[in-house]
Amino acid sequence: NDINNLSIVMTALEMNPNLFVVIRKNRRINEPLFEHFNADITMQPSDIIAHACLSYMVSPMLAAFLNLSRLQSNSWANAVIARLVMAVGEQAPDTWGVRILPTHASAICELLAQGHTIKLHHLTMNPSNGEEHLAIVPIMLVRDDEKILLPDLNAEVKLGDRYLCCGLDTAKATQNFLLNDIRNMSYLVTGLELPETFIGRLLLMKKQS
């Protein structure tokens, strides 16, 4: 029950005050107790079920991620939660898909066609400051029939890849702009600033070839 859950967590925190606490609340009537306890994340079974059902209806990729997540260890789940909290803080994150296709990520596809190596971390970089990352965590890669949870940020991006990202709406909008803006994306990948005009870029490519 809720009282036992709180008691167990309080004992654990006495032993290690630095624990990241995720606690389950069984009854809404006990909500004031949980608010006073101030856990990092508080979940209720009905909320979990509702979110899972919604994910199946809205996003097949998110549903696949949740199915695979259930097979992982508690330490893995804690690591995922910790990464998300580091990226988005206490704000509620959103999830969305990114497809490496000309219709969805034209700048990435153009750079790949030119022979450049694109790393996953390039998809999360802040175009205003190349040393910072957006509030985004890529939580799954789908490549052909393979699904990879928490893909390595240094892994190479391939044409046709699909990524499930989790983060803030503002970061999502910036990422979508970046994936389709060749000047900013090229600068983040190569460190070279492209000419503003299409003709200028053609002349530069001809000179480099």
Q: What's the token pair of residue 102? A: 């000309």
Cα 94 from Cα 168, distance rounded (Å) = 6
pLDDT at 85: 86
Residue 90, pLDDT score: 74
The reported pLDDT for the residue numbered 14 is: 81
Contact 163, 138 (CB under 8 A): yes
Given this model, what pLDDT does residue 156 score?
Answer: 98
Quote the CA–CA distance of 69 and 175 in Å, as a whole number: 25
| Predicted pLDDT at 175 | 96
**pLDDT for the residue 10:** 79
Domains, the chain: 2-89 (no CATH), 96-208 (3.30.70.1450)
What was the pLDDT predicted at 57?
45
Note down pLDDT in tens along the chain; length 209 residues. 667 777 877 787 788 777 666 666 666 666 766 666 666 666 665 555 455 545 544 578 888 888 898 898 888 888 888 888 889 887 878 889 999 999 999 999 999 999 999 999 999 999 887 688 999 999 999 999 899 999 999 999 999 999 999 999 999 999 999 999 998 999 899 888 765 555 555 555 555 55
Q: Provide the whole-model pTM.
A: 0.68
Residue 196: what pLDDT?
Answer: 59
Residue 52 has what pLDDT? 52
Determine the Cα–Cα distance for residues 173 and 160; give it in Å rounded to an integer: 21
Who's near 85: CB < 8 A, 6+ residues apart? Answer: 20, 40
Specify the pLDDT at position 70: 86
